[in-house]
A and B are shown apart, each in its own frame.
Chain A
Amino acid sequence: MIIETSTKRKTYYEELTEKGYSRRDFMKFCTMIAAYMGLQSSGVAQVTEALKTKPRLPVIWMHFQECTCCSESFIRSSHPIVADIILDKLSLDYTETLMAAAGHQAEEAMHKTMKEHYGEYVLCVEGSVPLGADGVYCMIGGKSSLDILHEVAEGAKAIICWGSCASNGCVQAAKPNPTTATPIHKIIKNKPIIKVPGCPPIGEVMAGTIVHILTFGTLPALDGIGRPKAFYSKRVHDSCYRRPYYDAGLYVESFDDENAKRGYCLYKVGCKGPSTYNACGVMRWNNGVSFPIQSGHGCFGCSEESFWDNGPLYQRLPNIAGFGIEATADTVGKVALGVTAAGIAAHAVATNLRKKKMIDNLISEGKESEQELKAE
């Protein structure tokens, strides 16, 4: 997958210098983003080279069933160039929330990009697609999001699913999922898909994913579920600064106890860090200021599939539907154990009644032998 080079379009570096960035700013950005992407130091040169020589990557950014928190996260990523490069300069030819054009003009811009860059534009999708009631729950410009997705995906060289909505459905796909909200990979099967889950994903992770495609002209290495390995191969738990408390066995028992003040591990108050794959512990949020656990609240696993349905946020075991309120696997297990014990007791009694003859025979035979030996 090589990005087409055309003389018409300006390179990122050209656009940035026009905008007033110094070379120093540019290099700082390249170094930072290369580090975030997990490249070795020689990778910095590759990133710099790509941004200097390659023309802008045409991008169409669709918003379906979502809250735009992904975009918000993106434009707040730590280096100003991230927002500039991607939003102003990434040739964001169509995006409902940020483009200046509206109505027919916007539609025209989108179709122009789709036509001119057929087969080479990257489609970014924010939000899930409702399939219920022929897709009427999400209509843009008189068309259902499903129709739009099919139309736009046709000429895309790859699809990036921003956030948990596009990656796995997120809140609108939570039970009972009234609009049949569906993640992109279940609708589009014939395109390479990158999932960047999170509610929202970290801005630098989003930028890193795009810069990877730019720099290398290929998709980043993906894990089994389709997430970039560079950002989603470790659990939040594995990079958590409170991990030593976990290993030591020191836990917060309730949010206002002494242990919480000491900053102990939040495992027992339902932290989902041990089952959540994300880079929060390393990259953190808002210019690396903090992340939920650092602020004293457990991770609730926003980048994991169906995290809304995985039970209460402040419990380790989810409640089991159909077994009454607040029944966890352990409650059900304990009841089953009690029932089993009662069954065994009943069986033991029944055995002594129904098989009395057999048992008596064995006992009497044994006792007879005993007597015989005594007699001798």
Chain B
Amino acid sequence: MNTTVLSKPHKLRRVFVWQLPVRVYHWLNALSILVLIATGFFIGNPLAILSGKEASDLYIMGTVRFIHFVAAYIFFFNFAFRIYWGFVGNKYAGWKNFIPTNKQFFKDMWAVIKTDIFMTKGSELHTIGHNRVAGFIYFLTFIAFGIQCLTGFGLYSATSDWWFPNLFAWVPAVVGGDFMLRQIHHWTMWFFILFTVVHVYLVFYHDYVEGRGEISSMGGGWKFIEEEIFEANKKAEEKKK
């Protein structure tokens, strides 16, 4: 594919990449993570509130925690849904985009790193869905999601009577108490912040350099692929069969 010569001007094929459930998942996830980070920071280090009111008239921390817990439930079930969709969704949503199952995956990752980080020429892979590095990083974020769910609901379990959070009651015992759990929960949050910054930057980067509609793809689900690359991808798929 490296040798594909693109026609000038580009002839673009519209490809439906992100299905509606994937897009809904993405934005719900983004929103809940933003809310969780903001409220999480507040819970970890609440602002000094100067108020003449009695405690009985205020419920600031209570409200912030409530929002945090609601967002956590949305985050969890949204994540659970995405795992399900990894098995029933289209080619670009499948779990094989994220979890390496063969050596080629790592070879492709290296090619992406060469192209996009070291910026050498001639190693371009024209992937349509997630590129391999992105897919693998998302796999790491899924692990981070898992850690946040375990530690978060582990902390929450002691205050809840519902069976669902109580499923996580074993977690504090494993890491040596709530204190350590709280720290892990806090540290992992920073991974989300760093991820978000890099993620948003790279979306702009790809849109800018490749001009395939990377940014808008998470809105309408479309990407616009050069005719030649489309044909090359199609041939490669047919060969596999």
Contact = CB atoms under 8 A, between A and B. Distances in A.
Interface in A265-316: 267-268, 272, 274-277, 301, 304-307, 310, 316
B205 A341 contact: no
B219 to A, nearest CB: 20
Nearest to A366: B211
B55 A354 contact: no
B8 interface: yes
B59 to A, nearest CB: 6
List the 10 closest pairs (A to B, CB-CB), nearest first. A249-B60, A275-B178, A248-B58, A333-B190, A247-B62, A354-B119, A248-B55, A224-B173, A249-B61, A275-B179
A140 interface: no
A359 B51 CA distance: 55
A250 B205 contact: no
Nearest to B49: A249
Contact of B182 (A238, A253, A275): A275
B179 A307 contact: yes
Given A224-B173, A354-B119, A368 B60 contact: no
A337 B193 contact: yes
Nearest to A318: B183
Dominant secondary structure at the B interface: helix
A317 B183 contact: yes
Given A245-B55, A250-B49, A329-B190, A359 B208 contact: yes
A164 B177 CA distance: 13
B186 A317 contact: yes
B197 A306 contact: no
A98 B170 CA distance: 38
B179 A304 contact: yes
Interface residues of A, number: 54
Interface stretch (A50-58, A84-92, A100-108, A343-351): A343-351
Interface in B191-224: 193-194, 197-198, 201, 205, 208-211
A341 B197 CA distance: 8
Interface string A318-361: 10000000000110110011001100100110110011001101
B240 interface: no
B64 to A, nearest CB: 8
10 contacts: A224-B173, A233-B158, A235-B178, A247-B59, A249-B62, A250-B58, A268-B46, A330-B45, A332-B190, A362-B211
A238 B160 CA distance: 11
A365 B10 CA distance: 8
Interface in B111-146: 117, 119
B5 interface: no
Contact of A305 (B45, B59, B176): B176
Interface in A223-239: 223-225, 233-235, 238
B56 interface: yes
Contact of A351 (B9, B119, B169, B198): B119
B42 to A, nearest CB: 9
Interface in A109-166: none
A305 B175 CA distance: 10
A341 B201 CA distance: 10
Interface centre among B170, B181, B182, by most chain A C-beta atoms within 10 angstroms, is B182
B211 A317 contact: no
